[in-house]
Amino acid sequence: MLIEVKLTMSQSHNISERMFELTQKNSAVREMFEEGNRLAALYGRENVYDFSLGNPYFPAPEAVKTAISDILENEASTFVHGYMSNSGYADVRQAVADNINRRFGTGFAAGNVIMTVGAAGGLNVILKTLLNPGDEVLVLAPYFLEYGNYIANADGVLVVVPANTEDFQPDAKAVAAAVTSKTKAVIINNPNNPTGVIYSEDTIRKISEVLKQKQKEYGHAIYLLSDEPYRELAFDGAEVPWLTKYYRNTIVGYSWSKSLSLPGERIGYLLIPSEADDYELIYNAACIATRILGFVNAPSLIQRAVARCLDESTDIAAYDLNRRLLYSGLKKAGFECVYPQGAFYLWMKTPCDDRQFCAAAKKHNILVVPGASFSCPGYVRIAYCVGEDTIRGALPGFEELAEELIK
Amino acid sequence: MLIEVKLTMSQSHNISERMFELTQKNSAVREMFEEGNRLAALYGRENVYDFSLGNPYFPAPEAVKTAISDILENEASTFVHGYMSNSGYADVRQAVADNINRRFGTGFAAGNVIMTVGAAGGLNVILKTLLNPGDEVLVLAPYFLEYGNYIANADGVLVVVPANTEDFQPDAKAVAAAVTSKTKAVIINNPNNPTGVIYSEDTIRKISEVLKQKQKEYGHAIYLLSDEPYRELAFDGAEVPWLTKYYRNTIVGYSWSKSLSLPGERIGYLLIPSEADDYELIYNAACIATRILGFVNAPSLIQRAVARCLDESTDIAAYDLNRRLLYSGLKKAGFECVYPQGAFYLWMKTPCDDRQFCAAAKKHNILVVPGASFSCPGYVRIAYCVGEDTIRGALPGFEELAEELIK
């Protein structure tokens, strides 16, 4: 009887079964977004404190506008809006490499860079490039749940390394325990979404050591895919380790979504070091993957614009003010918080079940995302890429929540 | 012994086997591109007649530049460069729907449109949305070979309907013969790359009839995916049938790459009619596919720019001049050509093997793509999206080729 029902269900529509499943479980972040709109309609946008979305609050630097205007004025239309090689414009890739070299003392060339349709596009390209069906990819909880979809797109298998809830620095021993002969890659995200933690040099060294040993043990490469959209957002003068210095088989994925407030433009890069195993094959295959996945190339005009704005920055001081205001407010209210070092997220321990906390917060018109959405229940993510007034407006609500929920 | 060698080969690198294969067979078009650069270095760019690439020759209309400048001046940075829903800006989608409705007398709304990263991105999104592993997708030879990769990305099976070399109007009977119980979709491309033929209303009616019958026979939907980047490039006042009028389960994929000369910008749309089977599921799943494939959304600024340029056009009269010049020149030289009605391609029968013809043409510094690259040997594709001087310069070479090769 049950089987019959299932058969009927699966035959009752004409789309992919996997996509059908995805339509049935809407993402928690997306639900929050809709809830925010519902509450705003009821109470007015200014009375809803929406901390659910990682959407840059501050505008792109003026230099982006100047760059675009100048390019349109001075470069030929067929060049600026035309096809280029799938990897991107050679001069843009060279400018990106030069900028990395200046900042990190590395020696990359244009031939190490592939311009991508955002970091998400880059991750899909590199996973498509590397994975055979059944290959395993490690992610470190708490993690951006979308990685699971990217890995599945390339027929890979997601393996979650449990969180180290001590300080949210990933535990190298837990990474070691999760590696098998089928491990092809490990994705790390630093500064981290959702915790706001910066993985320390010590953490990076230990993970690198584990992977080097495991490569030897299994006789094949294990690639460290470093997803770095938040690299520029580091506070208190913290340094975000540049991973190719610690581990040869590192591939960096970057995006200007946060650093230049350009998330809608879908512009980023992949960096594939020449010293990585099979560098040349990976580079060529990643260019082909860019083409066949339908990206073809990163959007052209904005490629040329970011190349002129590599030393520009979003208003990091303003995010920093938000960070301090929110952290001190929540601590004062009595909440246990992970000290936020980077990105624009604060990771707070919930005094009750995290989904229950989110429901309770909603009654105060406060929207935050449950830790369960990052494979780490018992916490919430509070995105402080908002106006200062949103934080000030929400703090009384958080204080009431603390009174209600902290025993 | 052979097996041993193969095992060694497959273990000698660290990337995906499928991607490894693709790196080994470089595309013919890409080879041509490299050959063009080699010849240009030897003989000077002006003495190389490169008809191998479908890259728009004429600049984007001035209105695109004006639109971008105006948007940057008058719309907020966080809006213009920010995240929007995965389907694209609501006002842009509404403008696209309105434009289609005005031109084709249809009744679409913003909720029928998804903005995509070019037509290639759109095709990948809709194939991901529709296909279960093993589902078959029909393509009509000669066809754009990249379709095979897009179908494989979604674990589908490519089924090629043989060419009708009579007049290159697809034969509905051949389509009928290729449909099976596993057929999920049929891709058509009109005006056609590589033939330059416009599929007639009669052809469309006949194919629609076949698909309607087959849907009834197999009890599930068969979607007609209409890839239309060349829709605006129709000559002699020819009309390109608007397919949703003939077949309910049509999904249109469009791009402004050719019509506004913006191929590098990666901007297009998918149109999913409300009357299509499972419209709502398809639309929701396609938005999710846009997200998880890593596109996230079509590039934001250029979305807003094309919405202001929907009535603009590239220099069709100039392409038309090229078309007449090339067609009459080749006919005069004695070649058999399919009369080009649309797109910017001329499809010429070769007096010998098509690859041999391409090799012979190269000796005259003429680059064209063999029909084998479109699953239809015995022909070449000549892309006349070039300067008039390139055509005039190449015609003596074509005349010599005719003398050498036509018996």
pLDDT digit string (tens) for B335-346? 999 999 999 999
Which among A13, A59, A128 is the nearest to B278, CB-wise?
A13
B14 close contact with A: CB closer than 8 A: yes
Chain B residues within 8 A of A129 when measuring between CB atoms = 15-16, 19
Residue B8, pLDDT score: 41
- Express each pLDDT in A245-267 by its tens digit: 999 999 999 999 999 999 999 99
Q: What is the mean pLDDT of residues A239-248?
A: 97
A120 close contact with B: CB closer than 8 A: yes
| 8 Å CB contact between A231 and A272 | no
- Express each pLDDT in A342-362 by its tens digit: 999 999 999 999 999 999 999
A115 close contact with B: CB closer than 8 A: no
Percentage of chain B modeled with pLDDT above 70: 96
Nearest to A224 by CA among A195, A204, A254, A200: A204
Q: How confident is the model at residue A28 (pLDDT cuts 50, 70, 90)?
A: low
Chain A residues within 8 A of B282 when measuring between CB atoms = 14-15
Q: How confident is the model at residue B25 (pLDDT cuts 50, 70, 90)?
A: confident
Structural domains for chain A? 2-60+314-405 (3.90.1150.10), 81-307 (3.40.640.10)
Average pLDDT over chain A reads 95
> Would you say residue A332 has pLDDT above 80?
yes
Nearest to A366 by CA among A383, A347, A378: A383
Q: Do B299 and A83 touch (CB under 8 A)?
A: no
Which amino acid does the sequence have at B375?
S
Beta pairing class for B136-140 and B183-189: parallel
A226 close contact with B: CB closer than 8 A: no
As given in the structure block, the two tokens for residue A220 are 């094949």
Q: Provide the ipTM.
A: 0.95
| 8 Å CB contact between B319 and B344 | yes
- Express each pLDDT in B74-110 by its tens digit: 999 999 999 999 999 999 999 999 999 999 999 999 9
Q: What is the mean pLDDT of residues B28-44?
A: 81
Residues 272-311 of B with CB under 8 A from A: 277-278, 281-282, 284-285, 288-289, 291-302
Cis peptide before A142 (omega within 30 of 0): yes
Does an H or E element contain A149, and which? Answer: helix A146-153
